[in-house]
Amino acid sequence: MHPKVKEFIKNSLDLCKAKKAIIIKNDSIKQELIDSLVKQKTLIPLKREGSYLARTDPKDTARVEEKTFICCKRPQDGGPTNHYEPPAKMRKKLEKLFDGAMENKPMYVVFFAMGSLDSPLCRIGIEITDSAYVALNLLIMTRVDDQVFNKINESGEFIACLHSTSALGKTPAWPCDPENTVIAHFPETKEIYSYGSGYGGNALLGKKSIGLRLCSALDKKQKYLAEHMLIIKVTSPEGLSKGLMAAFPSSCGKTNLAMIQSKLPGWKVELVGDDIAWIEVRPDGFYAINPEMGLFGIASGTSDETNPLAMEAIKKNTIFTNCALTKDNDVWWEKMTPTPPEGLIDWKGEPYSNKKGEFAAHPNSRFTVSITQCPNLAKEFHDPKGLKIDIILFGGRRKDTIPLLLEMSSYQMGVLFGSMLSSETTSAAKGEVGKIRHDPFAMLPFCGYHMGDYFNHWLELKKASTRANLPHFYLVNWFLKDEDDKFIWPGYQENMRVIEWIFRRVEHHRKVEHHFLGNVPLIEEFNFDGLKISEEDKTKLFLVDPKLWKKELLAQKKYLQQFEPKLPEMLIILIDKLLEMIPND
């Protein structure tokens, strides 16, 4: 092994005092990991082929944004949306937490890659963890093979990731230390440390930590972007294909759109990625890859009606986390079927009482499955050059103001509306239900550097490509409501109608109605065939209300001003221009 690799392993052994190091360079250890997890009752075998259920500690069920830190050398580089800790101070804290954290436990050393080794965007890492559950999930979510192992040991270049669930000394089925959890990122030295949580987003450090936080910071000086976006390939009945990316805050339907099954004759949608997009900007356009090898999707709400392709993908070889267990040894979650089956065991391992307010499956219950099991996987997933992107969507959960579909008039306007992305909080999120939460580019919890610099990076990248090859930007909103608080748009598979219109518009086959904000479809040119939507509601779907938008733009301007003096002046200029253009009452 390369001296740098040996040094990282030795230093981790010495600090954490693990009883032994287990090198994982391919998936030959997979069954051994599963057997050990079943033995310690972390995994429960299911009747689905090769599938298992895990139950976490009730205090370790989601990402912990308040305990996630960016430890860059200069505090101003982190910006107001990140929790900052000086590197030296954080290292002292981490040293205490990790001291003896793996005593009497094995230490798994996982060599992995994010993205194909042949891609210029590929990042290679080593995650050292005391969790067999984490090691097993990494085998699904990242590329772990002999080629990656050899590449790391040839170059000695890697992102160093150290993870421990707990130093408390006891060995329950789900060890964790929620009171002392910390996830720390060091962009300049390419290091990530995670202590106290075994949950995916906190512990699978190739995912949000490398995939977004670290890589967004590393990419800011290059013609790259690391984005919280889905990637799909859309093909028309004529056989013409376009690449589409979309940024949605949580609970806004990102995975459902990524795996949409078109009901429109002749139209086909294929999956490249459902969560993370790494983008290289070239003179001939934006090219995106999915750096992950698996899906870490929210189970609750997924059904044959809402996402049939996901349901097909998870029929076998899947790790389920915090789902309910049926009496015939299968999993269940809310909305999988209209009513819960009899004899359920809930996500905490207790008999399910079906009382109001109680969940059989945790609202953030998850499935981990290889992306190769998705029936609609595009061949471009395997292409190291990536998929050329023609269309970028931004979408939030808003009951009013934002129309179903709005076309941006320019690249700069696209960046502005990405920076103004916001969504209403849901019951699954912390805070008041229905409160507007700003989430620029859906990157609020994931941007590893100052948002002002991030917006500027997007604006500057326009120069790296020719005008004809820049993507077209659109704002979408599936969640408009009427006066009775009912959704106007049916959503789910019917969202393909919006994609159809955008595709035709990019091909110059659709006319629009011009507004001060941008353009909306003409009702007669949008495909409403077969939908039970009144003429009044059709008008509401594409309504641009001047009063609501004046309020919206003023609120967005106030929000964006917190990023000054790094905020690009262009964004405020554009907002002021829009405010001037609002029609008088």
In the numeric block, the tokens 């002999």 are attached to 146
Do residues 204 and 97 both lie within one domain?
yes
Do residues 270 and 174 both lie within one domain?
no
Q: From CA 556, how far away is CA 417, in angstroms rounded?
A: 10
| DSSP code, position 209 | I
Residues 6 or more apart whose Cβ sits within 8 Å of residue 172 = 57
Count of domains for the chain: 2
| DSSP code, position 283 | T
Contact indicator for 474, 407 with CB cutoff of 8 Å? yes
Do residues 260 and 113 both lie within one domain?
no
Q: From CA 239, how far away is CA 203, in angstroms rounded?
A: 42
Q: From CA 31, how far away is CA 160, in angstroms rounded?
A: 26
Q: Specify whether 71 is catalytic.
A: no
Do residues 238 and 277 both lie within one domain?
yes
Do residues 98 and 199 both lie within one domain?
yes
Question: For position 573, which CATH number holds?
Answer: 3.90.228.20
Within a domain: 59? no
Instruction: Indicate the pairing of strand 391-395 with strand 472-476.
Output: parallel
The whole-number pLDDT of residue 486 equals 96
Instruction: Indicate the pairing of strand 331-332 with strand 83-84.
Output: unpaired
Mean of all residue pLDDT scores within the chain = 96
Ramachandran sector of residue 330 (left: φ over 0; alpha: ψ -120 to 50; beta: rest): beta
Q: Which of 169, 202, 219 is the last residue of a domain?
A: 219
Within a domain: 364? no
The whole-number pLDDT of residue 431 equals 52
Do residues 241 and 213 both lie within one domain?
no
Within a domain: 86? yes
On the CB side of 264, CA atoms within 13 Å amount to 21
In the numeric block, the tokens 């005008």 are attached to 467
The whole-number pLDDT of residue 78 equals 96
Question: For position 10, which CATH number holds?
Answer: 3.40.449.10
Within a domain: 337? no
The whole-number pLDDT of residue 221 equals 83
Do residues 286 and 191 both lie within one domain?
no
Do residues 232 and 103 both lie within one domain?
no
Within a domain: 321? no
The whole-number pLDDT of residue 429 equals 44
Q: Tell me: the pLDDT tens digits for 90-147?
A: 999 999 999 999 999 999 999 999 999 999 999 999 999 999 999 999 999 999 999 9
Do residues 231 and 208 both lie within one domain?
no
Residues 6 or more apart whose Cβ sits within 8 Å of residue 504 = 510
Within a domain: 466? yes
The whole-number pLDDT of residue 168 equals 82
Within a domain: 266? yes
Residues of the chain with pLDDT under 70: 169-171, 427-433, 585
Domain that holds residue 194: 3-43+64-219
Residue in 252, 323, 374, 447 annotated catalytic: 252
CA dihedral sign of residues 540, 546, 548, 552: positive
Do residues 444 and 564 both lie within one domain?
yes
